Structure 1
């Protein structure tokens, strides 16, 4: 398998997103509790990256296996069929990265706490059964919500847990609930990403018997929901600053709401995977990248 093929099969270009998710947990830990990085945090970061690659390979494999022959998805869209990749080789790549992620995960648990088994099991379930099983998550109306919470909240939450565990700080339900509000802009952006993707893929999903949220609420309502979700995510930033849960530079993101809504106008008018969906991804990156980075900047200014 050529590197270019692996790059697309594992969707390596999406891996850096995990760094920004983890960065939010790390910056929040330092801002609220004055704790720094440690070795378990490094192990956790590597675990997430390896797991991310494994899941992407698995999802492409399962999408290829489950795709209907009624359209050209297998031959023209999926990298496995388009480049005639060996399914045996694809499975071996998946097993390699999944084994590596599992081993790192167990090392992390030994270094921190067995409580991490629970988010670990949840993460493995969401990652693997997103596209596998008799009723994969990507064929259900809860796919957007479950995946957004798993990625936008639980990934940075575990980073926070790993960093404060060696200290005397007690990890409580109240602490986790407050951090959920802090992570809500990321959760909403992950939700928007999947909602926009499924809106563009509605016709293809129907052929493949995937009944996502968009199938039930229809395209027009899905677009309105995405618009509301974008507005709420940007309006959260002034509230979080006022509450003292995030540093003041994050406030600048709230000022970018008019710019974001203008950028999204082409998508609001027409939902197309090739032409307007990338606009949603670029606009989403304002929050996904800007939020953790401005949070980090705020640490240096305090």
Structure 2
């Protein structure tokens, strides 16, 4: 397998969807707790990127195995296995190696923190694998937006905060004499959740936009996604509503002083985001308008990262 084929198999250009929440959580840990543990940061980055590549490679592999429609823009141009004529054995070995790297680095991170990281990591790995693998993958049900938004938008942010402040009594898990105790600071976790909401909504909308563009192909390939269940018009309205919720959330967080006053600079992104929404409303194609959902996600969340960074400095 060439480097070009590998990068296409794991769709390296999509890794911003996991790196951005990771950076958001890291900057928030610095802003809210003034903590940064560089080794933990590097270990989590390796585990996160490796596992993100695993899930993408599995998704492409399962699409290749289960596709009923073997032609069209999404299949023959975007699936590296088809485009570069990769052997199944090579793809499977690549997935296994990446999974080992992600698992070993994730376990190392647990050893440096506590049981919370191990449990959340195991749950995240399970969801990531089941997203594309198994008798009824999550991606073939109307739950993809919920799972991807929650785990990539919130769980990554939470863990990227927690690895720096695991010793601050934010959350812990103990097991003794057959009793499992789970404790967490509700207020702190809620702050992290609502701070991460633009990431949650943005990633959910990337998945939603992808599924809207693929309605016809998904029907042929028996992928019954959310837009197929609720219809394209309602899916487009939901697409718009999730962005509006994100902006309302930012204003509320500034008022409640969870974010600095500079958090309002995120509102400056409304004009380009709204412009992209209008374009997507007119035409929904993978080639022309789907990338707009990725741009919106990056614009909004990078603005929030910048706001937190400036708030930390000032």
Are positions 1:238 and 2:251 aligned together? yes
How many angstroms does 1:186 deviate by?
A: 0.7
Q: Structure 2 regions of 5+ residues with no counterpart?
A: 172-183
Q: Which residue of 2 is the match for residue 209 of structure 1?
A: 222
Task: Note the C-alpha offset of 1:275.
Answer: 1.0
* 1:30 aligns to 2:43 (yes or no): no
Secondary structure at 1:147 match in 2: helix
Q: Is the 8 A contact 1:21 1:292 kept in 2?
A: no
Q: Residues 2-59 of structure 1: CA distance to partner in whole angstroms, max 9, x if unpaired?
A: 2111111111122244332112212222222222234223211211111111221111
Q: Using the alignment, how far apart are the partners of 2:77 and 2:141 within structure 1? A: 25
Q: What is the aligned residue count?
A: 301
Q: Does 1:64 align with 2:64?
A: yes
- Does 2:173 correspond to 1:172? no
List 4+ stretches of structure 1 deviating above 6 A: none
Q: Which residues of structure 1 form unaligned runs of 5+?
A: none
Closer, same or farther: CA 169–179 of 1 in aligned 2, 3 Å: closer
Question: Displacement of 1:70 after TM fit?
Answer: 6.2
Task: Tell me how far apart the structure 1 counterparts of residues 198 and 313 of structure 2 sit (CA, whole Å).
Answer: 22
Task: Output the CA distance in 2 between the equivalents of 1:83 and 1:46.
Answer: 27
Q: Partner residue of 2:112?
A: 111
Is the 8 Å Cα contact of residues 202 and 293 (structure 2) preserved in structure 1? no
SS in 2 for 1:256: helix
Q: Provide the residue aligned with 1:156 in structure 2.
A: 157
Q: Determine if the alignment matches structure 1 residue 79 to structure 2 residue 92.
A: no
- 1:283 paired with 2:296, answer yes
Deviation per residue, 1:170-190 (Å, 9 max, x gap): 652332122111111110001
Kept after mapping to 2: 8 A contact 1:231/1:257: no
Change (3 A) 1:253 1:244: same
Q: Kindly state the Cα deviation for residue 76 of structure 1 after the two structures are TM-superposed.
A: 4.7
Q: Counterparts in 2 of 1:209-288, with a 5 A limit?
A: 209-288=222-301
| Per-residue deviation, 1:149 | 0.3
Matched, 1:2 2:15: no
**Quick check: 144-153 or 52-61, which moved more?**
52-61
Q: Indicate if the aligned counterparts of 1:9 and 1:80 stay in contact, CA closer than 8 A.
A: yes
Aligned to 2:176: none
Q: Equivalents in 1 of 2:111, 2:145: separation in Å?
A: 32
The structural deviation recorded for 1:168 is 6.0
| Contact 2:55–2:132, Cα closer than 8 Å, also in 1 | no
Show the counterpart of 1:121: 122
Distance in structure 2 (CA, Å) of the matches to 1:188 and 1:14: 16
- From the superposition, tell whether residues 14 and 293 of structure 1 become closer, same or farther in structure 2 (CA, over 3 Å): farther
Q: TM-score, normalised by structure 2?
A: 0.90
Indicate the RMSD between aligned Cα atoms, in angstroms.
1.8
Aligned residue for 1:293?
Answer: 306
